Amino acid sequence: MSDLAATPVTAAAIAAGVRDGSVKAVDVMEAHLARIAQREDEIHAFNLVLADEARAAAAAIDAAVAAGRDPGPLAGVPVALKDNMCTRGVPTTCSSKILAGWKPPYDATVVTKLAAAGAIAVGKTNLDEFAMGSSTENSAFGPTRNPLDISRVPGGSSGGSAAAVAAGFSAVSIGSDTGGSIRQPAALCGVVGVKPTYGYVSRYGLIAFASSLDQIGPFTTTVHDAALMLDVIGGHDPMDSTSIPAAQPSLVASLDRGVEGLRVGRITDLPDGADPDVLERLEAAFDALREAGATIVDVQVPAFANALTAYYLIAPAEASSNLARFDGVRFGLRVDAPDTNAMYSATRAAGFGPEVKRRIMLGTYALSAGYYDAYYGRALKVRRLIHDEFARAYQRAEVLLTPTSPTVAFPFGSKGDNPLAMYLCDLYTIPSNLAGHPGMSVPFGTGADGLPVGIQVLAGTLDEPTMFRVGAALERAAAHEGSAR
Amino acid sequence: MSESRPAAVQPTYTTSHIDFVEFEQGYELVVGLEVHVELATATKLFSASPNRFGDEPNTNIDPVTLGLPGALPVLNEHAVELAMRVGAALNCTIQACTFHRKNYFYPDMPKAYQISQYDQPLNVDGWLDLPGGYRVGVERAHMEEDTGKSSHVGGASGRIHGSDYSLIDFNRAGVPLVEIVSRPDIRTAEQARQYVTELRGILVAIGASDAKMEEGSMRCDANVSVHRAGTPFGTRCEIKNVNSVRSLGRAIEYEARRQIAMLEVGERVRQETRHWDENDGRTHTLRTKEDADDYRYFLEPDLVPLEPSPEWIERVRESLPMLPGARRGRLADLTGMPADGEAIMVVVERGQDQYVEAVGHLGGDIGRALVHVKEAFAEQGPEPTVPATDLALLTKLEVAGALTATQAKAVLAEIVANGGGDAEAIAAAKGFEAMDTSALEAMVDQAIAADPDAWAKFCAGEGKAMGALVGAVMKASKGQADGKAVTALLNAKKA
């Protein structure tokens, strides 16, 4: 057996090595499983580790290579799946008690595509229950710890997927982002996280939180890996009516084009709330892009300030409907009771945690007769306004830069009792979900306590290629800054 | 939609002191109908599972049908096409539309919401003409998915309350429906029956549905109110569980009387949903307006707007076959018989109007052919096995006076029984001969002479006496005399 520590780290390097036979997929897998064995007890990134299945899949990849077959662009790459993606015959929980014992009879499209590309699932990662939260503290199975400082949260809701990549449990992972659930934990764990344009990646098999906002995307250690992942998982899916029919250009191909001549927008009316150490890094990011040849321009997006309010009406409204199917009739938990209505109540009371219940009630209220116009109806108008204002901003600047998260990773329990404080974690990420536009978080140095700061790059509909050019430039600048230190 | 029902005993209203004379004199009935129709697609509205009635329970299912977490709906294009055909046949505007979620909990509703259409339905503003020409407005005809089917086992009522357990069959869940909502233009129970019958004929003719009320592929709810003529419409009640055209009429009449009875004693009609009970012939409260669900409609985020192109809409309109109303009109023009008369209604409903026309094209008498087909072709489908030429020949012989109506009937029976036959040969084999007037007159005279008593009575105006005389002539002619001709001769002789 080769030296496990010497196996490649990035998905690109792993796949290249596995495909040309210089690296064995089984060795790559053992290296990752060894790190899981070493640290998973303290991190709790996973709800389920699929060690045996992953070893068997890695051996099959090596056999394919030996037989002269190409196992695909992600050959032998260990991938962790957020536990709200359906996996056939493998428990899928949404970190909720209400799905206890449920094994989906089908794979999510993204799971199918990853497997077809040669990637190997190492496990299902922890999340805030039904992806509702920003710290994984809302998981019914206990929180995930930030691998960079285990006294702090990894962010959420895709905290397990972010931690898995940050801890080297998997080379890449998959998350879902409804209001920032990929980008914010990526920032807090110091990895790359991308929420593509709504419809870029099929949602078939993603257990819905808020259908009009949910989008699947990758966590990776490099911008290049993120592009590679999106090239695999993106594209039209006939099983998802909202997936975009248009062909998507390769993002990997766009990475090396630099930022010369690009206009990078600074939002002058960006809502307050970010810590000074975070804002300092944002300024450094503008400087770095200017040095790389971009122009910094000022833009206004007045509706940005209303995004959070609109989001906390629209997302819970959709969630209240999406989560109604968890009724104890066909799958998951059922708490028996004398009649059907009592069974519904008992099952849902026992199965859902407090944050999920809070949002179901919020959403039900917002949609109710007599309140619809004042709440849900107005939120839809704000959403339209946000979309239009961002579309105008992208006429002045190809991309916009903001902090991903107002703060670096925070200690456990520091916001747990205050839902509103927790909701503010997504202040800067929510607008792009409402607009349907893409956004990515790129690690850009550190802030308070030496913890990573993520810079968010936002772009217009389907302008992932430009967004990735800027992300790659920031990554280069951060590496240069790091090596200069 | 399935409903839970409160077990409370409802007051019932006897109809003894309100009869229809009073009803018609004092009150006007106002009815609007909501008809749900299952579309005849191969697969479901949002998934690839078969849309098939009568299969083993829970075999036509998949993650979408069961509302499993993560499953997403994908709209069935054929269902859209059929729904557009319904809209076109009902003279609707076919328009760009959206889908909404209608949220409520029920065990046979897998997602706890039904995907339906709300403020932007596919088809709007059409009409349906009843056979007599009365026009009923069609407000909308929108698409939605069906629910599963619950059966409640144990307990006395077969309802969920008091049952030991319930079984759910999800085969029906996700079956495409069109809900056709009429305007409140219907004024009598008979019009309501005609509306549903005519609608059924249209749906079958355009291939949108088999529209079988007994199998549940066509279901009808009635909104019923009464008011005094010249005053605003009364408060309406929605009547559910009407499972046949006959029940529809009974339910509407009962409900109208119930409401009138309340008004007559100074009570107010409450807006509520009521359940028709076929066994006791009454409607019972299902839920009041206060208990009604708040469906929290919102735009279905898993689907995109449906925008049929003008070319598609045009193609659908052009592909429609001739509808029953037009076919009746055509047959009325060809035969001179009333379009809403029994013969034309029956023949068009059976789809045998083309056949009747074919007989006409072959030189047959189309009026006689229509009556023969109506009388003798009940067992034959839209494409009768009897060659049209055979029926044409039969009617030609009648027109020529070679066969009396009575003889023709006997020949026709044999033709139908044998699946065809030469009318001339059959008539000859039966010994039928053309009977000239002088021969018939001789037989009539003979009958009068043989029974002067009957003749006297007949001349005195006793109609019954004619029967004896006609019967005597028939006997003498061995059944070959034409009854009408005999009657005419008797009358002529009396005068």
Phi, psi of A440 (to 5 degrees): -140, 150
Report whether pLDDT(B6) > 50. no
> Mean of the pLDDT values across residues A254-270?
95
What average pLDDT does range B169-196 have in this prediction? 97
Q: Which of A181, A202, A243, A320 is catalytic?
A: A181
Determine whether A24 is an active site residue: no
Its sign, for the CA torsion B221, B223, B224, B229, is: negative
Structure tokens at A39: 């640290």
Among residues of chain B, what percentage have pLDDT more than 70?
93
Percent of chain A with pLDDT over 90: 94
> Contact A368/B294, CB-based, under 8 Å?
yes
Tell me what pLDDT residue B21 has: 37
State which H helix or E strand residue B287 sits in.
strand B282-288
| pLDDT at res. B8 | 37
Q: Which residue has the tokens 């009617």?
A: B395
Which residues of chain A does B103 touch, with a Cβ-Cβ cutoff of 8 Å?
Answer: 320-321, 324, 367
Q: Which of B68, B103, B110 sits opposite A104 (nearest CB)?
A: B68
Q: Name which of A158-167, A473-482, B164-173, B468-477 the model is least confident about.
A: B468-477
Res A485: pLDDT:
60
Average pLDDT of A217-238?
A: 98
Taking alpha carbons only, the member of A25, A1, A6, A30 closest to residue A15 is A25
Among A382-396, A461-475, B141-155, which stretch is predicted with the lowest mean pLDDT?
B141-155
Residues from B contacting A (CB-CB < 8 Å) are: 4, 63, 66-75, 101, 103, 105, 107, 110-113, 160-161, 166, 168, 294, 296-298, 301-304
Cross-strand bridge partners of residue B103: B113
Contact A317 B107 (CB under 8 A): no
Q: Do B74 and A94 touch (CB under 8 A)?
A: no
Residue A1 has pLDDT above 60, yes or no: no
Is the pLDDT assigned to residue B1 strictly greater than 60? no
Average pLDDT over all residues of chain B: 90
Query: How many interface pairs between A and B have CB atoms less than 8 angstroms apart?
Result: 103
A157 as an active site residue: the answer is: yes
Share of chain A above pLDDT 70, in %: 99
B277/chain A closest Cα distance in angstroms: 24
Q: What is the mean pLDDT of residues A185-208?
A: 98
Distance CA A271, CA A428 (A): 8
Each residue's pLDDT tens digit, A303-354: 999 999 999 999 999 999 999 999 999 999 999 998 889 999 999 999 999 9
| B70:A204 CB<8 A | yes
Spatial distance between the Cα atoms of B196 and B193, rounded to a whole number of angstroms? 5
Inform me whether the pLDDT recorded for B214 exceeds 80.
yes
- Closest Cα in chain B to A238: B74
Residue B16 has pLDDT above 50, yes or no: no
Spatial contact of A456 and A431, defined as CB atoms under 8 Å apart: no
pLDDT tens for A17-55 read 999 999 999 999 999 999 999 999 999 999 999 999 999
Under 8 Å between Cβ of A135 and A119: no
Interface probe, candidates B119, B302, B304, B306, chain A, greatest A C-beta count within 10 A: B302
- What pLDDT score does B23 carry? 53
Residue B348 CA to residue B352 CA, distance in Å, equals: 6
**Are the CB atoms for B214 and B243 separated by under 8 Å?**
yes
Chain A residues with CB-CB distance to B297 below 8 A: 367
Query: Taking 60 as the threshold, does the pLDDT of residue B265 lie above it?
Result: yes
* B35: enclosing H helix or E strand: strand B27-38
Question: Is the pLDDT at B14 greater than 50, yes or no?
Answer: no
Residue B459, pLDDT score: 87
Segment B278-288, tens digit of pLDDT: 999 999 999 88
pLDDT of residue B485: 79
Per-residue pLDDT reduced to its tens digit, B42-77: 999 999 999 999 999 999 999 999 999 999 999 999
For residue A288, give the H/E element and its range.
helix A276-291
Picking from B66, B105, B302, the nearest residue to A241 by CB comes out as B302
Give the model's pLDDT for residue B434. Answer: 65
Contact between A415 and A135 under an 8 Å Cβ cutoff? The reply is: yes
pLDDT of residue B5: 40
Query: Nearest by CB to A242, which of B105, B166, B304?
Result: B304
Residue B435: both structure tokens together: 């009977």
What is the pLDDT, as a whole number, of residue A419?
84
Tally Cβ neighbours within 10 Å of residue A297. Answer: 14
A22 is an active site residue? no
Please check the confidence at residue A12 and state whether its pLDDT lies above 90. Answer: yes
**B107 contacts A329? CB cut-off 8 A:** yes
CB nearest to A321's CB, from B74, B107, B113: B113
Give this complex's ipTM.
0.96
More confident call, B330 vs B462? B330
Inter-helix orientation angle B452-459/B464-476, to 10°:
140
DSSP for A23-80, written as a single string? S-HHHHHHHHHHHHHHHHHHH--EEEE-HHHHHHHHHHHHHHHHTT----TTTT-EEE
Q: Quick one: residue B216, left, alpha or beta (phi over 0 = left, psi -120 to 50 = alpha)?
A: left
Distance from CA of A327 to the nearest CA of B (A): 8
Contact B103 A324 (CB under 8 A): yes
pLDDT category of residue B25 using cuts at 50, 70 and 90: low
* Residue B441: band (very low, low, confident or very high) from pLDDT cuts 50, 70, 90: confident
